[in-house]
Amino acid sequence: MIILKQGNLLEDEAEALVNTVNCVGVMGKGIALQFKQAYPEMFSEYEKACRRKEVQPGKMHVVSTKSLLNPKYIINFPTKRHWKNKSRMEDIELGLADLIKVVKELNIKSIALPPLGCGNGGLRWDEVRPKIEAAFKHLKEVEVHLYEPAGSPNPDQIKIRTKPPKMTRSRALLLMLMNDYSIPGYKLSLLEVQKLAYFLQVVGEPMRLRFEKGKYGPYADNLNHVLLRLDGHFIRGFGDRNRDAEIYLLPNAVQEAEQYLQGDSEADEHLEKVRNVIQGFETPYGLELLSTVHWVVKENPDIKDDVRSIIEEIHNWNERKRKIFKEKHITKAWQHLKGIGMLN
């Protein structure tokens, strides 16, 4: 029996939950990331299985939760060969055949499935759904909870069972800056956190972040790994890296950060420097503008005193920056950074 559902699959009370995965050991987005956060031991087993080349298209990777309560099994269903690739319908069909086999072998009586290969996978739901219905057609005794595409659940609804991360100086400083930015009532998203981390590294904090030229200015993909560790313990809202999702601090974050930084004069110096940099530019537009101007000068030090060349470089960055960044705003940001010694 198939029951169509919408909502958060991880809250389903079925005996088995199906997670969509790739074959290279990465759970970085979408429902796979949610499973990784909710079932860290499962992710560890999956990662090891990928290293052993055991996770392959058409073959289920089954992990027991060792729980008396449901779910008793997490079934990793390979819908992508690599996380960079799109899903293939033939892999869905082969996988469904093996999934039915697993359901019979484990005598599973209820199972929850996401829209296999849809969303990030790129397959059409109106083509995938009939495949799933046909596969379970003869298992009348199995209750199938089939979740239709409806976007990711609210990040606040994602269960977090990962081990709390250790506080470090860089993490504490980033949390303090996030708090500073949020106090006036500004919405804090991934874009602003990226820029705060960028300037924290620029003033001398050894963040070990690898910034590159991105659509919205300097961008470090490995910052996402830091935020993922903090999510659910010191921050909430990071979810699965949605750029527009609102990120906020949990009540314990500032207290623990302050306690960790107590008596560290160098940390205080770095914090005050970044506060000085962003003063007057505490908006998404302002932080993107500031970091973009700084990046252009850093990459082209010979034009640091030539604002016309800086404007030209920024307008050549991409069409978006050409449209939104006015010459007078670029000039104002350049004057501010130059005035506080950030372009030397």
The answer as to whether 133 is a domain residue is yes
List the end-to-end C-alpha distance of the chain, in Å, as a whole number: 69
Tell which of 157, 185, 220 closes a domain.
157
- Note the pLDDT of residue 234: 94
Q: What is the pTM of this model?
A: 0.65
- In the block, residue with structure tokens 């993909």: 221
Per the domain annotation, does 27 fall within a domain?
A: yes
Residues 334, 271, single domain; the answer is yes
% of the chain beyond a pLDDT of 90: 81
> Pick the residue with more confidence: 163 or 314?
314
DSSP output for 3-40: EEE-S-GGG---SEEEEEE-SSS---SHHHHHHHHH-H
Burial 275-312 (b: 16+ CB within 10 A, else e): eebbeebbebebbbbbbbbbbbbeeeeeebeebeebbe
Rounded CA gap, 146 and 80, in Å?
20
> Do 152 and 301 sit in the same domain of this protein?
no
Same domain for 94 and 227:
no
* Residue 76: CATH number of its domain: 3.40.220.10
Residue range 46-65: mean pLDDT, rounded: 97
Positions marked active-site: 80
In this structure, the strands spanning 16-21 and 211-214 are unpaired
Residues 255 and 306 placed together within one structural domain of the fold: yes
pLDDT value at 134 more than 90: yes
| Same domain for 174 and 151 | no
Q: Which two tokens stand for residue 168?
A: 């470090």
pLDDT at 213 over 90: yes
Number of domains in the chain: 2
8 A C-beta contact, residue 26 and residue 14: no
Looking at the fold, whether 139 and 177 belong to one and the same domain comes out as no
Q: How far apart are CA 247 and CA 192, in angstroms?
A: 10
183 part of a folded domain: yes
Distance, CA of 289 to CA of 311 (rounded, Å): 11
Q: Please give the pLDDT value at position 251.
A: 87
Asked whether residue 217 falls in the same domain as residue 152, the answer is: no
**71-85, 153-167, 328-342: the lowest-pLDDT one:** 153-167
Judge if 177 and 142 occupy the same domain.
Answer: no
Strands 217-220, 211-214: pairing is antiparallel
Q: Are residues 97 and 201 in the same domain?
A: no
For the segment 144-166, the average pLDDT, to the nearest whole number, is: 75
190 and 310 both lie in a single domain: yes
Report the pLDDT averaged over residues 102-106. Answer: 98
Q: What is the pLDDT of residue 344?
A: 87
Q: Which of 103, 125, 157 is the last residue of a domain?
A: 157
Q: How confident is the model at residue 154 (pLDDT cuts 50, 70, 90)?
A: low
Residue 330 has pLDDT above 90, yes or no: yes
Domain assignment present for 190 = yes
Q: Is residue 162 part of a domain?
A: no
Asked if residue 344 belongs to a domain, the reply is no
Q: How many whole angstroms separate alpha carbon 156 and alpha carbon 142?
A: 31
pLDDT tens digits, residue range 228-258?
Answer: 889 889 998 886 555 567 899 998 999 999 9
Mean residue pLDDT of the chain comes to: 93
Owning domain of residue 32: 2-157
- Give the tens place of pLDDT for each residue, 168-204: 999 999 999 999 998 776 778 999 999 999 999 999 9
Query: Crossing angle for the helix pair 30-38 and 40-51, nearest 10 degrees?
Result: 120
3-state secondary structure of 46: helix
Query: For residue 136, what are the contacts with CB-CB under 8 A and spacing of at least 6?
Result: 2, 100, 142, 144
Name the residue with tokens 């005193």: 305
The answer to whether 10 and 35 are in contact (CB under 8 A) is: yes
Three-class secondary structure of residue 173 per DSSP: helix
Q: Is residue 163 part of a domain?
A: no
CA–CA distance, 338 with 344 (Å, rounded to integer): 8
For residue 130, the model assigns a pLDDT of 96
**Does 207 score more than 70 pLDDT?**
yes
Classify residue 164: in a domain, yes or no. no
State the Cα–Cα distance between residues 30 and 298, nearest whole angstrom: 35
- Indicate if 256 and 146 belong to the same structural domain: no
For residues 107-121, give the mean pLDDT: 95
pLDDT of residue 241: 57
Joined together, the tokens standing for residue 57 give 């298209």
- 182 with 322, same domain? yes
pLDDT at 136 over 90: yes
Q: Count of CB atoms within 10 A of residue 326's CB?
A: 11
